[in-house]
């Protein structure tokens, strides 16, 4: 999620693409996000979504436990549904 000047991106893109994770189609998972600070902003949004997911898991575990439902069965069901 790099940001900065276009010139810096063009200079570093080959290196970043070489070390980036790859999607199923083989494309590198890296792209220029925009001018200074744009990469940090995208990363912040990504982290907020991820933290929301983790909170949802923790809350569902707590509710399951409070309702005397086996939390493991909850997570088994969610993983089968494609949620987890």
By annotation, the residues acting in catalysis are 43, 50
d(CA 40, CA 58) in angstroms, rounded, equals 27
Percent helix / strand / coil, the chain, rounded to 5: 65, 0, 35
């Amino acid at each position: 999620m790099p940001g900065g000047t276009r010139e810096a991106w063009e200079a570093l893109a080959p290196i970043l693409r070489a070390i980036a994770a790859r999607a199923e189609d083989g494309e590198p998972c890296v792209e220029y996000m925009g001018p200074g600070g744009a990469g940090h902003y995208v990363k912040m949004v990504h982290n907020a979504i991820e933290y929301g997911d983790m909170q949802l898991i923790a809350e569902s575990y707590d509710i399951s436990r409070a309702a005397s439902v086996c939390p493991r069965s909850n997570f088994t069901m969610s993983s089968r549904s494609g949620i987890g």
